[in-house]
Amino acid sequence: MPKEQGQKVIARNKKARHEYTIEATYEAGISLTGTEVKSLRAGRASLVDGYAVIKDAEVWLQGVHIAEYAEGTWTNHVPRRNRKLLLHRAEINKLIGKTKETGLTLIPLELYFKDGKVKVEIGLARGKKTYDKRQTLMERQNKREAERAMASAFKRNNRRG
């Protein structure tokens, strides 16, 4: 079988950027079993309830759901087990220092294949307050309305000319 090239996204945490302000992102490998990889190739994963914790100078991904492999037997994996993230020691030390600050947490943003290996993009995030979420939505809506107004003005000018 030829080696896969490029990047194929398996799952995205769409709520993460709405619920949190992302301050930094890190790419990490993930330790998986065979049936988990096969299930991911079928695209069966959810990052919605996921978060990462640091225990004994190791980073662990918790709450991520990887569905059981359909053709798996008694060797199938547990869908919500804790999975070890693979990062360089310097990155882990930096994360330990940053997560000790109050209000910062690690959340998975994206799960993808990169050159045949499963990778997780984790974000160092700070939770947004309700008014911050509202403000972000209003800014997005205002930007969209401005783009529509510009497009309609452009169309009107092109019809005349």
Taking only the tens place, the pLDDT of each residue in 113-138 is 888 888 999 999 888 777 777 888 88
Position 52 pLDDT exceeds 60 = yes
User: Residue 26 contacts by C-beta under 8 Å, 6 or more apart in sequence?
Assistant: 87, 91, 95, 121, 122, 123, 124
pLDDT of residue 108: 92
Which is nearest to 11 in space by CA: 123, 101, 118, 102?
A: 118
CA 127 to chain CA centroid, Å, is: 15
pTM: 0.73
* CATH superfamily for domain 7-128: Small protein B (2.40.280.10)
Q: What is the pLDDT of residue 99?
A: 85
Domain ranges of the chain: 7-128, 129-161
Cα–Cα distances (Å) from 126 to 46, 74, 144, 147, 161, in that order, read: 21, 40, 26, 30, 51
Q: ∠ at Cα 12 (82, 5), nearest 5°? A: 95
CA 22 – CA 109 distance, rounded (Å): 10
**DSSP tag of 77:** P
Given a cut of 70, whether residue 160 has pLDDT beyond it is no
